[in-house]
A and B are shown apart, each in its own frame.
Chain A
Amino acid sequence: MNLYRFASPAAFYPVAGFWMPWFAIAAAVCTVVGLYIGFVVAPTDFQQGQAYRIIFIHVPSAWMSMFIWLVMAFWSLLALSMNTRLSAMMAQALAPSGAWMTFIALWTGAFWGRPTWGTYWAWDARMTSELILLFLYFGVIALRNAIDDPRRADRACSVLILVGAVNIPIIYFSVQWWNTLHQGASVSLTAAPTMAATMLAGMLVMSLAAWFYTIAVALVRVRAIILEREQGAAWIDAPDLARRT
């Protein structure tokens, strides 16, 4: 099978449509299971009481907010080096998802910070760099909207996304590089997690839910982008689309 075939928007459009419902279902199932573990199975935290249960959306959305930018950087690199349209469309489709995840991470962080630290917001390195990430997502979306020619917009956005990737390690390591109000990582690939097993399980299942949700949403958005940009192309089955709308 030649995978390069799917680099064409015409070939990818039906593939995205086929897979989208499966990712949406997986996201829903993981959300139900994750919330059940998080609210029923996981014990109350001995220091933070019930307030810690915000962790089950805060950590997954914060991880996704950083990870989505790295995925966008990957697609941007492909778009610039291979000049493939679909790669740039994928980056374009992920940007609003990343902005939403960043907003959720900041919002849930504020409402977790208030009861545990006594403040909704502090200008510490972790929070400030995450806020900059939100502005970078806004910047990518605004830059695209400001350029009429989609292929020029692809190149400009790809460059901005690659340059903006420098912020991701800054966010991730901010809790080590500077003294922050925000705590350090409780979960890492190199050390045992410093939290109860059921809490960790709930957080990981909710992270899976965030992954599946992001993929499902990005697949729908890339389909909309393909239709917007390929209007009038011979492969688009206009009568079939007319029947469905």
Chain B
Amino acid sequence: MQFLDMGNYGFYVWTAYGVTALAIAVEVLSLRARLRAAARAASGVEDTR
């Protein structure tokens, strides 16, 4: 708990790190979807969804 508290700066430290982790997750997931869509289109397979 002392670690999470960060000497009363927990809110600032973990908001900064949390949003950074979220940004990385969004970038990686959206990029994976883009690559899959591009591969599907380039393969000539009709998108059935």
Contact = CB atoms under 8 A, between A and B. Distances in A.
Contacts, number: 98
Contact of B42 (A50, A61, A108, A241): A241
B27 A51 contact: no
A244 B34 contact: no
A49 B9 CA distance: 8
Given A107-B16, A112-B16, A227-B35, 16 more contacts: A51-B6, A51-B9, A51-B13, A97-B27, A104-B19, A107-B23, A108-B20, A217-B28, A224-B34, A224-B38, A238-B43, A242-B44, A244-B39, A245-B36, A245-B43, A245-B45
Overall SS of chain A's interface? helix
B40 A245 contact: yes
A117 B7 CA distance: 17
Nearest to A113: B12
A103 B23 contact: yes
A220 B31 contact: yes
A137 to B, nearest CB: 13
Overall SS of chain B's interface? helix
26 contacts: A50-B9, A50-B13, A51-B12, A53-B13, A57-B16, A58-B16, A61-B20, A96-B27, A100-B24, A103-B23, A107-B19, A111-B13, A112-B12, A112-B16, A217-B28, A224-B31, A227-B41, A227-B42, A228-B42, A230-B42, A231-B41, A238-B42, A241-B40, A242-B43, A242-B45, A245-B36
A14 interface: no
Interface residues of A, number: 40
Interface in A195-239: 213, 217, 220-221, 223-225, 227-228, 230-232, 236, 238-239
Contact of A54 (B16, B28, B32, B43): B16
Contacts of A217: 27-28, 31
A44 interface: yes
A224 B31 CA distance: 8
Contact of A53 (B6, B34, B36): B6
A44 B43 CA distance: 54
B42 A223 contact: no
Contacts of B32: 220
B7 A236 contact: no
A184 interface: no
Interface in A123-177: none
Contacts of A236: 42
A224 B12 contact: no
A238 B36 CA distance: 13
B42 to A, nearest CB: 4
A244 to B, nearest CB: 6
A115 B27 contact: no
